[in-house]
Amino acid sequence: MEAFHPLIAGLMGEGWVIGVVIVLILLVFGALLVMATRYKRCPSDRILVIYGKVADGQSARCIHGGGAFIIPIIQDYQFLSLTPLTMSIPLRGALSLQNIRIDVPSTFTVGISVDPAIMSNAAERLLGLAPREIEEMGREIIFGQLRLTVASLTIEQINQDRESFLASIRNNVEPELNKIGLYLINVNITDITDESDYIESIGKKAAAEAIQAARVDVAVEEKSGAIGESDAVREKVIRVAENLAASDKGKKEAEADRRVFVQGQEANAVEGENTAKAQIAATNAELAIKVAEQEAAADKGRKAADADRRVFVQGQEADAIAGENTAKANIAAANATLAEKEADARQRGEIARRKAQAEIQKAVARAETERLTAEEVVREEIDKRKVEIAAEAEAEKRRREARGEADAILAMYTAEAEGIRKVLDAKAGGYAALVDSCGGDARAVATLLMTEKIEAIVAKQVEAIQNLKIDKITVWDSGGGGNGEGSSTSNFISSLIKSLPPIHDVAGMAGVELPEYLGHLRPEGTTAEADVATDVEGETHPGAELAGTA
């Protein structure tokens, strides 16, 4: 047991060290992976624009070629293409310095510059724009500056001195393009025309002048050519004769020199051949002697080397046998020691394994008990919480339903009160206007309102008796009313009519006195003829006949 604990401690120590090493390796690998993913390389045909937190006083950092590490979170990047943009500029009707309108169709090739200042402008103004948008922006600038350039030059300067014209265009256009991050690569003016054919007239004049000058030059050259031709023929004859004589002389001298040289070279060749033969013979003899000496030395060396080899091999074999025996003895002792240590280690390992299994079983039992207890507690807590939530939800539902019903009742009564108030306000306004129209006389207003209701009152009176269905009336009567007023049957009908209150009585109940033109009630016991009134002028009131008819 005492020997077992140090072994376990050593294994645990070695495992901790291995774990730390693995963690360090993972961290280094992760750091390298992050650096590899955040390190961005810039192709030769692009500009890498890094924006975010780059440097004080800078909105972005531009890199052409190479690469850079993009710091996560605080930095990001985009690319700007250096591919040139070719724009067709069909300038028409541009006013020149002579107030002549000309057409200057041209083609401009622009691109983003790698100059640091222009790259910064491009990063600030062109980043994220599509090539079509960049081209449209550059076209607008070029149109304006090209018109300005044409307006500062005459037709002759534009048409004849194209180099100066292109230089003026570059001087005016390029600074404006640099402000947005572009620079001018090339300008190509295809053709220049004008509406008044001024340029064509200049061309015709120049063509006529050139034709006249060419004709004069042709005549002069023809004269010079004839004179030169005769001089050349004479010179040719003389030169040919001189060259023929010199050629013959040179041929004879060359032939003589050749013969002398050939004879001398042949004599030298014979002498050299004899000398070479003698040297070759001497050299061959010396070579044969040296070869024999070398072969004898080689045989002697081979015999000595063979003897030395045999002695060395025998000694090495003896040393090898002794070494093999010693090694075998050491191996046997080591195997015995290893077998003892393996047996001891197996014994300690089996004991440790049994103890570890026992501890594992105990730990599993404790964990299972704790798990079952926790599951039961959690289940009961969940059931309790479900009941509480359901109760709270039911209470909240009832509170909201009651609140909704109360709000609905309150809204209904509020609407009814608002409607009644508006009706009363409208009536009050109407009554106030009616009183104002009657000069403030409230009785006149009441009379007027009552007069409007007479038709409805009469309709109600008629409605009260119009639905009476009298199929048959049986009268037990002796034929006289008993007081000389007719039969009881006629009294029944008149009594029925009289049971309805007169309109004047109804108005009087309301405190309203109807006007005279609506008639008046006849006193009891008087006739209609007695009620006819005559005014001061002796005229009868037209409404007197209506009295008592109610």
Task: Give the tens place of pLDDT for each residue, 198-232.
Answer: 766 666 666 677 777 777 777 777 767 777 777 77
Confidence (pLDDT) at 518: 56
Contact yes or no for 180/125 (Cβ under 8 A): yes
Confidence (pLDDT) at 110: 92
269-273, 288-292, 346-350, 499-503: segment of lowest average pLDDT: 499-503
Confidence (pLDDT) at 524: 53
pLDDT above 70: residue 168: yes
How many whole angstroms separate alpha carbon 549 and alpha carbon 540?
17
Q: How many residues does the chain have?
A: 550
Tell me the pLDDT band of 503, cut-offs 50, 70 and 90: low
Q: Which residues pair with 76 in a beta bridge?
A: 51
How many whole angstroms separate alpha carbon 182 and alpha carbon 108?
12
The domains of the chain are located at 1-32
Task: Give residue-wise pLDDT tens across range 464-497.
Answer: 666 666 655 565 555 555 555 555 555 655 555 5
Task: Give residue-wise pLDDT tens across range 14-62.
Answer: 667 788 888 888 888 877 777 667 788 888 888 888 888 877 777 788 8
Mean predicted confidence (pLDDT) in 339-351: 83
Confidence (pLDDT) at 109: 92
Strands 75-81 and 46-55: antiparallel
Share of the chain above pLDDT 90, in %: 2
Give Cα 51 distance to the centre of its chain.
17
How many whole angstroms separate alpha carbon 182 and alpha carbon 155?
29
How many whole angstroms separate alpha carbon 378 and alpha carbon 357?
31
Contact yes or no for 37/70 (Cβ under 8 A): no
Confidence (pLDDT) at 540: 42
Task: Give residue-wise pLDDT tens across range 394-441.
Answer: 888 888 888 888 888 888 888 888 888 888 888 788 878 877 877 877
Tell me the pLDDT band of 510, cut-offs 50, 70 and 90: low
Confidence (pLDDT) at 530: 45
Quick one: tokens of 457? Answer: 């009152």
